[in-house]
């Protein structure tokens, strides 16, 4: 046989952005060897008639740092055409670490990223201290897809500063020197980059600010010096610019992030971009500052989501509007079926709906203050709350919101929310678009996606397991922006380039992201017309029986990693070609 694998009869969207064309793709030893006319015979042939053949996607913003140590598949990302993920985002992760700090890092990840601490405690294999040892450990067994890692600021600070690694505690010069040296050591071992988190909404499971959340300019710039002279490496930051409800410190905060990027010796930094209701124009300020920075030679890119950053609310999810009501709290530990039976009782319903919610955030709680603010205005937020339904719609018509249902049915908004949560025997999920939906449409997102500094990101794959399932972003990008949206659609070729070629090249992975001879055979075969998102479901597949939201897709005929079929018609196969990608290794 001339080839190990041949994909025939598809329309090749090669990742360059140019128009698709008919042709075949041939693979030998995990690499693409021919594209276009491939006359040789193959051990395996995949017929792609009527389908697109694209590069696999690289998701540059995930939180599989714990999951990667126990889960071979890295679902749900693998179900959405993703063939490489980058972990260690937002400054949180599990290395470097001293043995006595295991529980502290678990509390940090549980609070910031909504991953059950019990699942992390049961599933994490540990067996490392240094970042290099962590990389070796997670690369010691095969996975379905590839993964890269970033050095997380919180873990780094805790490793160096010990008990002093709390917010507002300044690092000494010696401690900054050590953090810089450890970061450089990790980069030389193949780490993709360094990440830091500066959001006021991020809290540990004890409700405390994250260790690095208030790190000063001297510390951030000192760590950035680790990149000097290296040929690879990126920086990533998340910040709300001290904007819970004001923007007083916006420019001072951006100055600090820009200074960190400026000290990274030309290495690029990406920052999260989203529209917040509390400051609807802030995203434009971020964009303008990024443009000005790039004009000065400081590379700052903008990570953009293709839909609202929202939460899913349900009786089995992490949040719903009644979690703080005394009557609900009294039954909250019952099995779902028993809770539903109690909530359907008319007297219980009347009692609960007459109550006021207790506070759910504050000292000793990882729930952000924003949650209390929203719960106190539940009648108002019903205007932004929707049934998700069997066919999820992430740009819903505002006329279908629960407030509109209340007006039409003569019930209060609270009654409608209550009744909606009981649908499907209490399995129903309500969708609350939190960011990127101020105008109750996605026109702002379209502007973001079309900006030349935009990078597809923010999926948070592996995180917020009881509130979101945004690892499906790559599928949504093609469906909504390439096929379904009535206005503002974008060429499929551009959308593929954005989440395959552009993301891979940004993080320094030059061997993937394009359907070209010599590239890794990381590929998708996609029936675009059949492409659709499944309804998210809560599944109990985390260690210790923990639950998480899982969302699959229809339309992926095949996903291929290093020439091996890892997803066959939407089902993960037994193939495990995925490994750790060490950046800077060619």
- Torsional class of 425: left (φ above 0), alpha (ψ -120 to 50), beta (otherwise): left
Please report, in angstroms and rounded to a whole number, the separation of the first and last CA atoms in the chain.
29
In this predicted structure, what is the pLDDT of residue 359? Answer: 79
In this predicted structure, what is the pLDDT of residue 371? Answer: 65
In whole angstroms, what is the distance from residue 262 CA to residue 20 CA? 39
In whole angstroms, what is the distance from residue 46 CA to residue 558 CA? 8
CA distances from 578 to 74, 85, 139, 217 (A): 10, 10, 9, 38
Residues in a beta bridge with 236: 195, 270
Residues in a beta bridge with 541: none
Q: Which helix (H) or strand (E) holds 432?
A: strand 430-435
Four-CA torsion 213, 214, 215, 218, nearest 10 degrees = 150
User: Residues for the chain: how many in total?
Assistant: 586
In the chain, what is the greatest distance between 2 CA atoms, to the nearest angstrom?
A: 74
For tokens 């929707």, name the residue.
Answer: 386
In this predicted structure, what is the pLDDT of residue 517? Answer: 98
In whole angstroms, what is the distance from residue 435 CA to residue 464 CA? 15
CA distances from 130 to 21, 123, 263, 343 (A): 47, 19, 24, 50
CA distances from 325 to 376, 428, 531 (A): 11, 19, 40
- Output the tens digit of pLDDT for each of the chain's 586 residues: 899 999 999 999 999 999 999 999 999 999 999 999 999 999 999 999 999 999 999 999 999 999 999 999 999 999 999 999 999 999 999 999 999 999 999 999 998 988 999 999 999 989 999 999 999 999 999 999 999 999 999 999 999 999 999 878 999 999 999 999 999 999 999 999 999 999 877 777 677 889 999 899 999 999 999 999 999 999 999 998 876 545 668 999 999 999 999 999 999 999 999 999 888 999 999 999 999 999 999 999 999 999 999 999 999 998 899 999 999 999 999 999 999 999 999 999 999 999 988 877 666 555 666 666 666 677 778 999 999 989 999 999 999 999 999 999 999 999 999 999 999 999 999 999 999 999 999 999 999 999 999 999 999 999 999 999 999 999 999 999 999 999 999 999 999 999 999 999 999 999 999 999 999 999 999 999 999 999 999 999 999 998 999 999 999 999 999 999 999 999 999 999 999 999 998 6
In this predicted structure, what is the pLDDT of residue 247? Answer: 61
In whole angstroms, what is the distance from residue 300 CA to residue 261 CA? 7
**CB distance 507 to 557 below 8 Å:** no
Q: Give pTM, 2 decimals.
A: 0.95
Q: Which helix (H) or strand (E) holds 236?
A: strand 234-239
In this predicted structure, what is the pLDDT of residue 207? Answer: 74
In whole angstroms, what is the distance from residue 163 CA to residue 569 CA? 50
Fold (topology level) of 57-307+442-507+518-530: TIM Barrel (3.20.20)
Four-CA torsion 465, 467, 148, 94, nearest 10 degrees = -60
Domain ranges of the chain: 57-307+442-507+518-530, 313-435
In this predicted structure, what is the pLDDT of residue 128? Answer: 97
């Amino acid at each position: 046989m001339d080839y190990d694998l041949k994909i025939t009869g598809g329309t090749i969207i090669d990742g360059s952005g140019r128009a698709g064309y008919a042709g075949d793709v041939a693979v030998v030893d995990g690499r693409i060897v021919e594209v276009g006319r491939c006359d040789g015979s193959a051990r395996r042939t995949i017929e792609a008639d009527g389908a697109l053949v694209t590069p696999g996607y690289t998701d540059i913003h995930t939180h599989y740092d714990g999951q990667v140590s126990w889960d071979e598949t890295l679902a749900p990302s693998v179900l959405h055409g993703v063939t490489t993920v980058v972990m260690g985002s937002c400054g949180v992760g599990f290395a470097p670490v001293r043995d006595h700090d295991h529980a502290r890092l678990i509390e940090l990840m549980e609070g910031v990223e909504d991953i059950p601490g019990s699942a992390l405690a049961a599933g994490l294999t540990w067996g490392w201290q240094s970042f290099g040892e962590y990389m070796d450990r997670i690369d010691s067994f095969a996975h379905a897809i590839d993964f890269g890692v970033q050095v997380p600021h919180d873990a780094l600070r805790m490793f160096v500063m010990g008990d002093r690694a709390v917010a507002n505690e300044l690092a000494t010069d010696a401690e900054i020197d050590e953090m810089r040296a450890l970061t450089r050591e990790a980069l030389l071992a193949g780490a993709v980059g360094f990440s830091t988190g500066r959001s006021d909404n991020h809290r540990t499971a004890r409700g405390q600010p994250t260790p690095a959340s208030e790190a000063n300019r001297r510390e951030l710039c000192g760590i950035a010096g680790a990149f000097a002279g290296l040929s690879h490496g990126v920086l990533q930051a998340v910040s709300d610019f001290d904007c819970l409800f004001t923007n007083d410190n916006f420019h001072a905060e951006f100055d600090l992030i820009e200074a960190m990027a400026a000290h990274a010796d030309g290495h690029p930094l990406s920052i999260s971009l989203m529209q917040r209701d509390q400051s609807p124009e802030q995203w434009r300020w971020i964009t303008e500052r990024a443009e000005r920075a790039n004009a000065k030679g400081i590379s700052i890119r903008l990570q953009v989501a293709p839909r609202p950053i929202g939460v899913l609310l349900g009786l089995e999810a992490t949040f719903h509007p009644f979690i703080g009501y005394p009557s609900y709290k009294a039954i909250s530990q019952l099995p779902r079926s028993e809770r539903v039976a109690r909530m359907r009782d008319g007297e219980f319903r009347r009692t609960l709906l007459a109550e006021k919610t207790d506070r759910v955030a504050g000292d000793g709680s990882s729930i952000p203050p924003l949650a209390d603010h929203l719960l106190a205005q539940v009648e108002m937020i019903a205007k932004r709350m929707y049934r998700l339904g069997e066919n999820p719609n992430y740009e819903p018509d505002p006329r279908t919101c629960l407030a509109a249902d209340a007006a039409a049915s003569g019930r209060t908004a609270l009654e409608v929310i209550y009744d909606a949560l009981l649908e499907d025997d209490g399995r129903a999920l309500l969708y609350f678009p939190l960011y990127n939906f101020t105008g109750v449409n996605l026109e702002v997102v379209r502007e973001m996606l079309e900006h030349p500094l935009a990078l597809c990101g923010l999926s948070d794959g592996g995180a917020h397991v009881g509130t979101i399932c945004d690892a499906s972003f790559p599928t949504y990008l093609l469906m909504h922006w390439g096929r379904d949206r009535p206005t503002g659609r974008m060429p499929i070729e551009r959308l593929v380039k954005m989440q395959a070629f552009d993301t891979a090249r940004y993080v320094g992975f030059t061997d993937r992201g394009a359907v070209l001879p010599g590239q890794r055979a990381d590929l998708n075969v996609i029936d675009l017309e059949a492409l659709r998102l499944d309804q998210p479901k809560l599944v109990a597949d985390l260690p210790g029986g923990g639950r998480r939201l899982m969302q699959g897709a229809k339309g992926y005929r095949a996903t291929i990693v290093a020439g091996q079929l890892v997803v066959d018609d939407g089902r993960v196969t037994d193939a495990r070609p995925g490994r750790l990608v060490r950046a800077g290794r060619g």
